């Protein structure tokens, strides 16, 4: 992986992405309130690089991932894959763009149809694309299985006959079957034992090297993101509050929320400087978004100027959504 300055072309560009779910309706069926899950996200993933998304439970990470790959019906904004507008694409063009990005979920148990043999699961995206005979699909599944460390003779079995780590290998083989540019990884190892987690991470790193894949990796584990990702974006209440090179942001966080998040992360190798007045508590209600900085209610550093909404501003290699942290 390249950790330094990069000149690679953008594979994924997300601009001003919003997702809100109807939360209640009137007698005419019209929504009267919404859950504001994603609130104006901009991000870029460059070819062959990995962007990590971190943030506490409920901040909108999975909704963001699903909106990017077209699975969130209420999404608004622009998603471009390899320079082409995915949101605006229709029919065959949309299906072709969709094959350039695939998703791997946290729980392969529920994301894989338990009635299908593994060769069918792995080759299903190619079957949907069309133009392959059954023998060709089987042969493709064999190649893909070997590339993720499974044995070809295991392919006629059903998913429940495999361990959690093997099932995640099946999900990864399926995801790379269409030779995508980008994999969206939504907590791909958090349901696995620690020793198995490391094997899956090593597999993902090898596939990235061999195939030039780009990754958008969602994780609760900041140590993992620091090891795995070139860049990181920290999410809070559906917004990105700090983004930049993973090593820099996670060693020296500048946004008060990133500082609190990292102070609560026990697995980092080097302890961060003590963070005075780090506050915890629940995420605010996302049915009614704050008119101030979204973090103000929980921020130990709130001061004059925090009553207004904050915008993400560039500061060197990173972006920060806090007028005080900009210095
Ligand atoms: N289909 C839905 N309908 C209504 N609200 C939803 C729906 N999906 C997600 N939400 C809400 O959107 C917000 C963001 O949820 P999301 O699952 O994206 O968070 P997350 O960051 O992935 O959390 P976790 O770390 O627990 O997986 C939450 O308030 C959640 O309750
Ligand atoms: S703008 Fe104010 S309230 Fe928001 S994170 Fe910065 S210091 Fe805290
Ligand atoms: Mg999630």
Q: What are 21's two structure tokens?
A: 């779910």
Supply the DSSP string of 12-64, one letter for each residue. Answer: EEEEEEEEEEEEEE-TTS-EEEEEEEEEEEEEEEETT-EEEEE--TTSSHHHH
Ligand 2: does its nearest atom lie under 6 Å from the Cβ of 241? Answer: no
Structure tokens at 258: 């990133």
Question: How many Å lie between the centroid of ligand 3 and the Cα of residue 284?
Answer: 17
- Beta bridge mates, 84: 81
Indicate the SS3 state at residue 183.
Answer: strand
CA dihedral 107, 110, 112, 116 (to 10 degrees): 140
Q: Is the CB of 225 under 6 A from ligand 2?
A: no
pLDDT at position 87:
86
Between CA 62 and CA 73 the distance in angstroms is 14
Ligand 1-lining residues (CB < 6 angstroms): 21, 35, 37, 55, 57-63, 286
Query: Which tokens is 23 given?
Result: 């939360």
CB neighbours of 58 closer than 8 A, spacing ≥ 6? 283, 286
Contact predicate 219/52, CB 8 Å: yes
pLDDT in tens, 282-317: 778 899 999 999 999 999 999 999 999 999 999 999
Residue 276: the pLDDT is 35
Tokens 């042969």 belong to 139
Structure tokens at 159: 């998913």
d(CA 249, CA 271): 14
CATH number attached to the domain at 10-100+180-320: 3.40.50.300
Ligand 1 geometric centre to CA of 22 (Å): 13
> What is the spatial distance between Cα 242 and Cα 322, in angstroms, rounded to a whole number?
9
Q: Ligand 1 mean position to 303 CA, how many Å?
A: 30
Side-by-side strand order, sheet with 31-46: 31-46, 10-25, 75-81, 84-85
Nearest CA to ligand 2 atom 7: 302
Nearest CA to ligand 2 atom 3: 296
Q: What is the DSSP string of 58-111?
A: TSSHHHHHHHHTT--TTEEEEEEETTEETTT--HHHHHHHHTTEEEE-S-HHHH
Alpha-carbon distance 143 to 325, whole Å?
50
Which bound ligand lies closest to the C-alpha atom of 253?
A: 2
**Number of Cβ atoms within 10 Å of the Cβ of 308:** 11
Domain boundaries, the chain: 10-100+180-320
Residue 244, φ and ψ in degrees, nearest 5: 160, -170
* Ligand 3 centroid, distance to 47 Cα (angstroms): 24
Distance CA(206)–CA(51), nearest Å, equals 16
Report CA(307)–ligand 2 centroid distance (Å): 9
Residue 239 main-chain phi, psi, to 5 deg:
-120, 155
Q: How far is the CA of 111 from the centre of ligand 3 (A)?
A: 14
Residue nearest to atom 25 of ligand 1 (CA): 57
The predicted pLDDT at position 266 comes to 62
Give the ligand whose atoms come closest to the C-alpha of residue 312: 2
Question: Which atom of ligand 1 lies nearest, measured to the CA of 106?
Answer: 27
Which of 304, 322, 307 minimizes the C-alpha distance to 260?
322
pLDDT at 144: 98
pLDDT at 6: 60
Ligand in closest contact with the CA of 57: 1
Q: Which of 167, 233, 226, 223 is nearest to 200 (CA)?
A: 167
Q: What is the DSSP letter of 318?
A: E
Q: Which atom of ligand 1 is nearest to the CA of 19?
A: 12
Q: Relative to the alpha carbon of 302, which ligand is closest?
A: 2
Q: Report the pLDDT value the prediction gives residue 280, as an integer from 0 to 100.
A: 56
> How many Å lie between the centroid of ligand 2 and the Cα of residue 146?
50
User: What residues form DSSP beta bridges with 39?
Assistant: 18
- To test the pocket of ligand 1, the residue of 36, 62, 64 to mutate (highest count of ligand atoms within 8 Å of its CB) is 62
Q: Enter the pTM of the model.
A: 0.93
Beta bridge pairs of residue 119: none
| Cβ–ligand 2 contact at 293 (below 6 Å) | yes
Which residue ranges of the chain lie beneath pLDDT 50? 1-4, 269-279
């Amino acid at each position: 992986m390249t950790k330094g300055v990069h000149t690679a072309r953008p594979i994924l560009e997300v601009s001003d992405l919003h997702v809100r779910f109807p939360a209640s309706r009137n007698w005419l069926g019209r929504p009267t309130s919404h859950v504001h899950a994603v609130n104006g996200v901009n991000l870029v993933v460059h070819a062959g690089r990995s962007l990590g998304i971190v943030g506490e439970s409920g901040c909108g990470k999975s909704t963001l991932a699903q909106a990017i790959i077209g699975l969130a019906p209420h999404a608004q904004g622009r998603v471009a894959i390899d320079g082409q507008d995915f949101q605006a694409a229709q029919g065959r063009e949309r299906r072709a763009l969709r094959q350039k990005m695939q998703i791997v979920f946290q729980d392969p148990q529920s994301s894989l149809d338990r009635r299908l043999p593994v060769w069918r699961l792995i080759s299903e995206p190619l079957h949907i694309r069309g133009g392959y005979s059954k023998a060709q699909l089987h042969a493709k599944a064999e190649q893909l299985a070997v590339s993720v460390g499974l044995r070809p003779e295991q392919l006629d079995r059903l998913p429940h006959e495999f361990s959690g780590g093997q099932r995640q290998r099946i999900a990864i083989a399926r995801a790379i079957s269409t030779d995508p540019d980008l994999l969206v990884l939504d907590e791909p190892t958090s349901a696995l034992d620690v020793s198995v987690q490391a094997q899956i991470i090593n597999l993902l790193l090898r596939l990235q090297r061999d195939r030039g894949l780009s990754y958008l990796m969602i994780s609760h584990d900041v140590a993992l993101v620091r090891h795995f990702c070139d860049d990181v974006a920290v999410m809070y209440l559906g917004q990105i509050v700090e983004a930049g090179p993973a090593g820099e942001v996670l060693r020296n966080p500048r946004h008060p929320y990133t500082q609190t998040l990292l102070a609560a992360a026990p697995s980092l190798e080097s302890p961060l400087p003590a963070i005075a007045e780090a506050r915890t508590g629940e995420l605010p209600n996302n049915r009614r978004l704050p008119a101030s900085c979204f973090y103000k209610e929980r921020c130990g550093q709130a001061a004059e100027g925090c009553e207004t909404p904050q915008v993400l501003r560039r500061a060197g290699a990173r972006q920060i959504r806090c007028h005080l942290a900009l210095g």
